[in-house]
Amino acid sequence: MVRSFLARASDDGIVLEGVFDDEGPLRWIFSEITDDSFKWRAVISSDNWKTENLIQEMFAWRQIDQTDKT
């Protein structure tokens, strides 16, 4: 499955927005972005973004390369 989103900058990161038949309006929010980590959330809304429901959240960290001794 391929999903098309419209991306925009936000105060805290990047927001991708799309509308899909199976879920309706959906946002993927990338925040707390650093050189080594970020937070990702997927939220949906059924009332034109007056409220939103968190459906998934992940925290990601860069893996340290143990072979790099410099």
The whole-number pLDDT of residue 22 equals 73
Question: Which two structure tokens, joined as six digits, stand for 3?
Answer: 């999903």
Per residue in 8-44, pLDDT (tens digit) is 999 989 999 999 877 789 999 999 999 999 999 999 9
pTM of the model: 0.80
Q: Which residues pair with 56 in a beta bridge?
A: 42
Per-domain boundaries in the chain: 6-61
CA distance 8 to 3: 16
CA distance 36 to 5: 25
The whole-number pLDDT of residue 69 equals 61
